[in-house]
């Protein structure tokens, strides 16, 4: 497999006529993003004013809030948007089975009953593991609608040889992963190698076949928001189903200004092509309050549709525990404790 396999997606000629249309077309709901030819001019035209983006990000949570039943409803939505994740060197099949059990019943039955929410509707969106843990995870989730997502392509650095990275994706697909979270080569972004980035992601997409592709930008290593916007666009052009902020291993994780920049790229892509691409913030999201902020960001910038699990995910490991405590507080009126909720 080489990059020449991406013949289905020809590169666009770089011409001054390829500016985004001013009038958006209809959204192509339900059709997977097939990508588009690389439009370098569009990539170069990205403008992100960091100070203005930070101001908007800082006021998202002061302009909007949800309380009481609304907060509980939003937090439950947050649970269903969750890629429950374990990405540790000491992961074992036993640990992954425990995580999968939690994925099936992320919130205590009695709490759901008290809130009047049917239990069968509340499960996490996916379980996210390393390649070696796909098989135990798939087995543990048998009979549930929860897919297994695998990180791949040299996660978290993305610096192993391209053929191996592609091979790893194929192996994960064969092992039963239905979603693949890959990392991009940060160097391509930092040096303006947009064609190389496009080719790389397109190759990953080919390797995925029908399996969904999430592209991790590792934004903490991309230096500027403009780079984040450009990289997001290139990944979507190359056929990404999701753009994702971080591996969780960078020094800086998902931040709201980065998220805002990415969802605006998602919106621009949808307006231009009609295709709906998902967004996944990951790394460092630990509290229910932060989860609400991210949901507010999605609802405000992209609309309610983009809070559904096929278009929005949290990559998180400890977030669920805090959400559970907040939900119990909603039910009982008393502040809760971690040990009152089953561990993952």
Partner 1 sequence: MSKVAEVFASMEYGPAPESAVPALEWLEAHGRAFGHFIDGVLTGSEGDGFECANPATGRPLARIRQGTPQDVAKAVEAARRAQPDWEALGPHGRARHLYALARGIQKHARLFAVLESLDNGKPIRESRDLDIPLVARHFYHHAGWAQLMEEELPGYGPVGVIGQIIPWNFPMLMLAWKIAPALATGNTVVLKPAEFTPLTALRFAELCSEVGLPPGVVNVVTGDGLTGAALVAHPDVDKIAFTGSTEVGRIIREATAGSGKRLSLELGGKSPFLVFDDADLDSVVEGVVDAIWFNQGQVCCAGSRILVHEGVADALERKLRARMETLRMGDPLDKAVDMGAIVAPVQLERIEKLVARGREEGAEIWQPSWSVPQEGWFYPPTLCTGVQPAGTLAQVEIFGPVVVLMTFRTPEEAVELANDTRYGLAASVWSESINLALDVAPAIKAGTVWVNCTNLFDAASGFGGYRESGFGREGGKEGLWEYVRPAWEGRGEAVPERPPVPPATAHRATDAGGLPPIDRTAKLYVGGRQVRPDGEQSLTVAGHDGLAIGLVGRGNRKDVRNAVEAARKAQGSWAGRTAHNRAQILYYLAENLEARGDELCQRLAAFSGDAEDARLELASTVRRLFTFAAWADKWDGRVHATPFRNVTLAMPEPIGVMGLVCPDERPLLALATCVASLVSMGNAAVVVPSETAPLLATDLYQVLDTSDVPGGVVNIVTGRRAELVPTLAAHDDVDGVWYFGDRAGSAEAERLSVGNMKRTWVSYGRPVPWLQDAAGEHFLRESTQIKNVWIPYGE
214 carries an active-site annotation = no
The active-site residue out of 81, 199, 206, 280 is 280
Q: Which is nearer to partner 1, 64 or 131 (CB)?
A: 64
Q: Output the smallest distance, CB 117 to partner 1, in A.
A: 5
Structure tokens at 93: 């099949």
Three-point CA angle 59, 253, 194, nearest 5°? 100
Interface contacts to partner 1, rule CB under 8 A: 22-24, 47-56, 59, 62-70, 72-74, 76-77, 115-118, 121, 224-226, 264, 295, 299-300, 304, 307, 330
**Six-digit token string for 210:** 């029908």
Distance of CA 181 to the CA centre of its chain: 8
User: Measured from the CB of residue 197, what is the shortest distance to partner 1 in angstroms?
Assistant: 20
Per the annotation, the verdict on 68 as an active-site residue is no
Angle, CA of 54, 59 and 61, to the nearest 5°: 120
CA distance 285 to 288: 9
The SS3 assignment for 216 reads strand
Rank residues 176 and 274 by Cβ distance to partner 1 and give the closer one.
274
- Return the number of the residue (18 or 132) whose C-beta is nearest partner 1: 18
CA angle 287, 330, 340 (to 5 degrees): 70
Task: Give 162 or 270: the residue with its C-beta nearer to partner 1.
Answer: 270
- CA 149 – CA 179 distance, rounded (Å): 4
Q: Which of 181, 199, 206, 241 is catalytic?
A: 181
Minimum CB–partner distance for residue 251 and partner 1 (Å): 18
Q: Which token pair is 84?
A: 């429950």
CA distance 307 to 309: 6
- Shortest distance, position 292 Cβ to partner 1, whole Å: 11
Hey, which residues are catalytic here? 181, 244, 280
């Amino acid at each position: 497999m080489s990059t020449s396999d991406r013949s289905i997606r020809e590169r666009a000629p770089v011409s001054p006529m390829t500016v985004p249309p001013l009038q958006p077309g209809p959204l192509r709901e339900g059709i997977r993003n097939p990508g588009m030819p690389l439009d370098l001019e569009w990539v170069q035209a990205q403008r992100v004013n960091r100070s203005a983006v930070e101001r908007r990000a800082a006021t998202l949570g002061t302009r909007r809030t949800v309380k009481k039943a609304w907060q509980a409803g939003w937090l439950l939505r947050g649970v269903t948007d969750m890629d429950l994740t374990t990405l540790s060197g000491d992961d074992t099949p036993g640990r992954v089975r425990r995580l999968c059990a939690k994925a099936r019943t992320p919130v205590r039955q009695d709490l759901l009953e008290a809130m009047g929410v049917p239990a069968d509707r509340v499960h996490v969106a996916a379980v996210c593991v390393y390649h070696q843990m796909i098989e135990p995870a798939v087995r543990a989730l048998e009979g549930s609608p929860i897919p297994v997502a695998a990180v791949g392509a040299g996660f978290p650095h993305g610096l192993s040889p391209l053929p191996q990275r592609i091979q790893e994706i194929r192996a994960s697909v064969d092992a039963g992963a239905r979603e693949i979270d890959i990392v991009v080569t940060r160097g391509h972004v930092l040096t303006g190698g947009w064609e190389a980035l496009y080719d790389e992601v397109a190759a990953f997409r080919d390797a995925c076949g029908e399996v969904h592709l999430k592209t991790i930008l590792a934004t903490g290593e991309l230096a500027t928001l403009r780079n984040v916007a450009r990289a997001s666009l290139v990944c979507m052009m190359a056929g990404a189903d999701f753009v994702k902020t971080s591996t969780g291993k960078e020094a800086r994780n998902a931040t709201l200004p980065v998220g805002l920049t990415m969802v605006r790229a998602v919106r621009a892509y949808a307006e231009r092509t009609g295709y709906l691409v998902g967004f996944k913030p990951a790394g460092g999201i630990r509290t229910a309050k932060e989860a609400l902020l991210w949901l507010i960001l999605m609802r405000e910038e992209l609309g309610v549709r983009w809070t559904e699990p096929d278009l929005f995910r949290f990559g998180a490991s400890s977030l669920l525990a805090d959400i559970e405590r907040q939900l119990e507080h909603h039910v009982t009126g008393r502040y809760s404790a971690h040990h009152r909720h089953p561990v993952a």
